[in-house]
């Protein structure tokens, strides 16, 4: 039975597409509602058209993206090698949170897509305001990068055998 009175101002992850999306990203794993709201306030929402680049190979890495709606391809534009095709709930570009190295691939919208960006400057702001939260994110980011490195090593080992 539904309550007669409810907090109509409270939004949970299911009610807010940005909160729902970041709640699913392992980099923001084990964060409470207040911490997720803090991150959501720092994200930048943008819509991309079919074929529109999100970033190009060799562009400065500024941050990561989470796909709210739509799909994205990550590829090398010189060889047309596709590294990944991602869809709603997926994230990419997280290495740029740690360094300013140029992008190693291009990202392009495969259909009209809505993404949120979380950039290095946002992370640095967050670390200044809330060092404990910043450390949680950095530890989670390290885990994600470590897992991706293990998967890459495994794939390379399988190719060579």
For 60-72, how does the pLDDT look when each residue is reduced to its tens digit (9 = 90+)? 999 999 999 999 9
Percentage with pLDDT > 90 across the chain: 81
Partners of residue 67 on adjacent β-strands:
115
In a domain, 50, yes or no: yes
Averaged confidence pLDDT in the chain: 90
What is residue 2's predicted lDDT score, i.e. its pLDDT? 47
In a domain, 97, yes or no: yes
Q: What CATH number corresponds to the domain at position 126? A: 2.60.120.10
- Domain-located, residue 157: no
Structure tokens at 53: 């680049």
Using the structure block, give the residue that is written with the tokens 């729902």: 20
The range of the structural domain enclosing residue 47 comes to 17-151
The total number of structural domains in the chain stands at 1
User: Which H helix or E strand runs over 134?
Assistant: helix 131-160
Domain annotation covers residue 1: no
Judge whether 70 lies within some domain: yes
pLDDT digits (tens, 9 = 90+) for 24-38: 999 999 999 999 999
- Would residue 5 count as lying in a domain? no
pLDDT at 14: 55
């Amino acid at each position: 039975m539904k309550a007669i009175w409810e907090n109509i101002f409270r939004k949970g992850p299911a009610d807010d597409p940005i909160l729902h999306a970041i709640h699913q990203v392992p980099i923001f794993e084990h964060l409470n509602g207040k911490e997720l709201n803090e991150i959501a306030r720092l994200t930048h929402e943008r819509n991309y058209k079919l074929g529109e680049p999100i970033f190009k190979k060799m562009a400065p890495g500024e941050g990561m993206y989470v796909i709210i709606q739509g799909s994205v391809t990550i590829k090398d534009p010189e060889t047309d090698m596709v590294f990944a095709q991602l869809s709603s709930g997926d994230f990419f570009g997280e290495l740029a949170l740690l360094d300013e190295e140029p992008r190693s691939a291009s990202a392009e919208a495969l259909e009209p897509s809505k993404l949120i960006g979380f950039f290095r400057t946002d992370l640095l702001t967050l670390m200044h305001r809330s060092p404990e939260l910043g450390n949680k994110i950095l530890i989670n980011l390290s885990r994600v990068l470590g897992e991706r490195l293990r998967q890459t090593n495994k794939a390379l080992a399988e190719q060579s055998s």
